[in-house]
A and B are shown apart, each in its own frame.
Chain A
Amino acid sequence: MGIFFGSVPGLTATLAIALLLPFTFTMKTIPALVTIMGIYAGGIFGGCLTAITINIPGAPASTMTMIEGYEMMKKGKGASAIGHAAIASGIGGMIGALILMFVAPQMMKVALAFKSPERFSLIVVALIMVATVTRGSLLKGIISTLIGLAIATIGLDPLIPTPRFHFGIPYLMRGVGLLPAVTGLFAISELLRQMEFKQWDIKLAQKIKISDFIPSWSEIKKIGPFLYLKSAVIGNFVGILPGGGASMAAFMAYGEAKRSSRYPEKFGTGIPEGIIAAESANNAMCGGALVPLLSLGIPGDAVTAIIFGVLLIQGMIPGPQLIVEHSGLIGTMFAALFTAQMLIPLVTFLLTPVYLRITNLNRGLIFSFIAVIALVGTYVAEFSAFQMGLAVVMGVLAYFMQRAGYPIVPVLMGFILGPYLELFFRRSLTLGKGVAIFFTSPISAVLLLLAGLFLYILGVKRPHLEENNSKS
């Protein structure tokens, strides 16, 4: 169910767990926790299937996978791309779950050292990486990020309950929801983009065998185990930080893989290393995101916020006493997460031939389905036709931005991270009585230095020459 939800554009792991929430009232504790963990792991991975096959990430965390995966798909290597993604997700997810079980207390101490200035600086690093790693003009990448940040300011102020930029529309006082933003930016804009073509603009191997998914040993040997491990550790660490999330984990790992690669210029052209980095990290993030939730009672993202609700329904209060009082149940939860991650490659190899054949189906059928499910999915999330309208507005905006060469991924990242950026920025300024606090904190200063380095190395030293390639 997790993979299914993650792989259908407009449906996310968040929505799957949100829709499942009422059902957990009637479930026993262990089945409820196992189901939630399965959907969480499957949902994060599932997003890569449509990202690779039809250039629409089923989940926001799959946007970096889309950059490389869709390029591989266009070259007729879709099966290989999915195989790499599944193996990387499984390995990364298992490493993340192991870290959760054995290293969580130590990592928790590190995460606790991140106060507002450090968190602000971390988000700045992530946003700069997003603006620079997506292909195209750096200036346009920055503008896209700023547009995303500006869209995120619509709605209530994060510190003082003051509505902003609602233009007299009461519905806008609550801001733009994540679901309309994601479906608009990726599903609706893709629908509009596909209207330009009479056929799929991708090649697909007609006969797909399970063996096609399994990468060759020489390929795996060439990539090496370090990339899996490094990306999983990055993803897990980002997951521990509240506000981190799968998207940031994937972006950070992808950016690091590109930075440390012997051939960084090939990133964006369809290489497995980018997929491996992003998928290892975003599935490893699952384990990390549970650390602050279970230990501190702080959900790090939308999914863990809903898991927080599930735990409460089951009579467990997330916090320092949780592991002491419910060690058996929490142990089962960890084991369920580990098992779900382990099963991802197996389930993928067995069921994905069906997904890859999706492009052999009638385009009218596929995109009618995508349009309807994205719009109805947006509607059912809040039972609001206004949210559907927002998705269309975002979709039209994204379509025209893409046509003009502006990448869309930074818009989404700016939108997701914007509220946290503002919150930590203003808190830091209030606490520190000025911007000096960002430089007096060693962690923050190092992170800002890193941000400057990324900007110089990825944005200035290696300027993006392919400005006309607007696809993010």
Chain B
Amino acid sequence: MNTEKRVIKPNSNLIEGLLIFIGTTVYFLKALELQQPFQDGQPGPAFYPLCLAAALYICSIVLIIKGMCLKEIKNETVKTRNFPFKKTLIAIILTSIYLWVFLRIGFWISTILYGTMIAFVMEYGKRKIYMTIILSALIGIIVSGAVYVLFGTMLGVKLP
């Protein structure tokens, strides 16, 4: 169940502005490694990315200034959800592992395991643990079978 509660939300403009500034600097430096922005009076491959970097720099500086100016109200309370971020992190890790093993161990084993694990994480805590494991395993098999039928059988695509 989604719960609504009032929590303290720090002013994030400053952090976001700094992150965008750093990201833009990496982008800007890579753009500088390209050929000259202008070659024979014509804009080269670096020209347009440098324009984008300039625009991103301006935006990040505006965000940073907003963040610094609004420092005094950083403790404003806002309505938000109680996010179980842990599950999201687990999903990112599981998906990364799936990508790594997909070609190595093949479609069937990797997909059944991945489908099972994703379903388990989503269903965790709703019923008894052994029921969740059985249901998740079934989901993993059903999902793998359905995707194989779609791609492998109906469309004739060769899966690893």
Interface membership of A97, Cβ < 8 A: no
A364 touches B118 (CB 8 A): yes
Which residues in B have their C-beta under 8 angstroms from that of A157?
45
For chain A residues 130-167, which have a beta carbon within 8 Å of chain B?
A: 139, 142-143, 146-147, 149-150, 153, 157, 159-160, 162, 164-165, 167
CB-CB < 8 A to A103: which residues of B?
none
Of B1, B43, B45, the most chain A CB neighbours within 10 A belong to B45
B18 at the interface (CB under 8 A from A): no
Contact indicator A164/B34 (Cβ below 8 Å): yes
Chain B: interface residue total (CB-CB under 8 A): 71
With A372-B111, A380-B157, A429-B43 known to touch, is A196 a contact of B81 (CB < 8 Å)? yes
Q: Provide the residues of chain B in CB contact with A396, threshold 8 Å.
A: 92
Partner of A364, one of B16, B35, B136: B136
Whether A369 pairs with B45 at a CB distance below 8 angstroms is: no
Q: State whether B2 touches A153 (Cβ < 8 A).
A: no
Is residue A294 contacting chain B, with contact meaning CB distance below 8 A? no
Given A143-B56, A146-B52, A165-B27: A195 and B122 within 8 A (CB)? yes
Residues of B1-58 contacting chain A, CB below 8 A: 1-2, 12, 16, 20, 27, 30-31, 34-35, 41-45, 47-49, 52-53, 55-56
- Which residue of the partner chain, among B99, B126, B136, contacts A385 with CB atoms under 8 Å? B99
Contacting B at CB under 8 A, from A414-462, are 422, 425-426, 429-430, 433
Decide: A426 and B118 in contact? CB cutoff 8 A.
no
A197 to B85, CA, bound (A): 10
Chain B residues lying within 8 Å of A379, measured Cβ to Cβ, are 102
Beta-carbon contact of A371 and B95 below 8 Å: yes
Task: Tell me whether B52 and A365 are in contact (CB under 8 A).
Answer: no
By the criterion CB–CB under 8 Å, are A404 and B42 in contact?
Answer: no
B103 located at the interface, meaning its Cβ lies under 8 Å from any Cβ of chain A in the complex: yes
Chain A interface size range: 35 or more
- Distance A153 CA – B98 CA, assembled complex (angstroms): 28
Q: Is the CB of A153 within 8 A of B44?
A: no
The residue on A at minimum CB distance from B155 is A19
Whether A385 contacts B102 by the Cβ 8 Å rule is: yes
Q: Mark A60-86, 1 if CB is under 8 A from B, else 0.
A: 000000000000000000000000000
Bound Cα distance A139, B140 (Å): 42
A327 within 8 A of B: no
**Given the complex of chains A and B, what is the CA–CA distance between A39 and B2 in angstroms?**
39
Give the distance in Å from the alpha carbon of A195 to the alpha carbon of B85 in the complex.
Answer: 8
- Other-chain residue from A19, A139, A191 in contact with B59 (beta carbon distance below 8 A): A139
State which of A193, A198, A388 has its C-beta within 8 Å of the C-beta of B1.
A198
CA A164 – CA B50 in complex, angstroms?
Answer: 12
Q: Please judge, given known A-B contacts A196-B83, A201-B2, whether A372 and B30 are in contact too, CB under 8 Å.
A: no
The secondary-structure label for the interface of chain B is helix
A392 contacts chain B at the CB level, 8 A cutoff: yes
Once the chains bind, are B91 and A376 in contact (CB under 8 Å)? no
Bound-complex Cα distance A153 to B42 (A): 18
Within 8 A of A (CB), among B79-122: 79, 81, 83-85, 87-88, 90-92, 95-96, 98-99, 102-103, 107, 111, 114-116, 118-122
Contacts of B119 in A (CB 8 A): 362, 364-365, 367-368
Question: Once the chains bind, are B59 and A146 in contact (CB under 8 Å)?
Answer: yes
B-contacting residues, A328-379, CB 8 Å:
362-365, 367-369, 371-373, 375-377, 379
Q: Give the number of residue pairs across the A-B interface with Cβ within 8 Å.
A: 163
Q: CB distance B47 to A426 under 8 Å?
A: yes
Do B115 and A376 have beta carbons less than 8 Å apart?
A: no
From residue 128 to 160 of chain B, which have CB atoms closer than 8 A to chain A? 135-136, 139-140, 142-144, 146-147, 150-151, 155, 157, 159
Q: Nearest Cβ distance between residue B35 and chain A, in whole angstroms?
A: 7
Q: Does A192 contact B (CB under 8 A)?
A: yes
**How many angstroms between the C-alpha atoms of A193 and B49 in the bound complex?**
31
Residues of the A chain whose Cβ atoms lie less than 8 Å from the Cβ of B126:
198
B118 touches A371 (CB 8 A): yes
Q: Is A206 an interface residue (CB 8 A)?
A: no
Nearest residue, chain A, Cβ from B59: A143
| Partner among A201, A364, A371 whose Cβ is within 8 Å of the Cβ of B123 | A364
Q: Is B43 touching A426 in the complex (CB atoms < 8 A)?
A: yes
Residue B69 at the chain A interface, CB threshold 8 Å:
no
Q: Known: A19-B155, A199-B2. Contact between A368 and B43, CB under 8 A?
A: no
- The answer for the CA separation of A334 and B55 in the assembled complex, in Å, is 44
Q: Are A196 and B84 in contact (CB under 8 A)?
A: yes
Residues of B within 8 A of A198 (CB): 1-2, 125-126
* In the complex with contacts A142-B59, A365-B142, A468-B78, A194-B122 CB distance below 8 A: yes
Tell me the minimal C-beta distance from B129 to chain A in angstroms: 14
Q: Is A181 an interface residue (CB 8 A)?
A: no
Residue in contact with B95 in the complex, picked from A149, A164, A375, A425, CB distance below 8 Å: A375
A215 interface residue per 8 A CB criterion: no
Question: Out of B62, B111, B139, which one reaches A376, CB within 8 Å?
Answer: B111
B119's nearest neighbour on chain A, judged by CB, is A364
Q: Are B35 and A162 in contact (CB under 8 A)?
A: yes
**B interface residue numbers (CB < 8 A to A):** 1-2, 12, 16, 20, 27, 30-31, 34-35, 41-45, 47-49, 52-53, 55-56, 59-60, 62-63, 66, 78-79, 81, 83-85, 87-88, 90-92, 95-96, 98-99, 102-103, 107, 111, 114-116, 118-123, 125-126, 135-136, 139-140, 142-144, 146-147, 150-151, 155, 157, 159
16 additional A-B pairs beyond A196-B87, A369-B143, beta carbons within 8 Å, are A147-B56, A164-B30, A164-B31, A164-B49, A191-B118, A195-B84, A367-B118, A368-B119, A369-B115, A371-B95, A375-B102, A376-B107, A376-B147, A392-B96, A396-B92, A429-B43
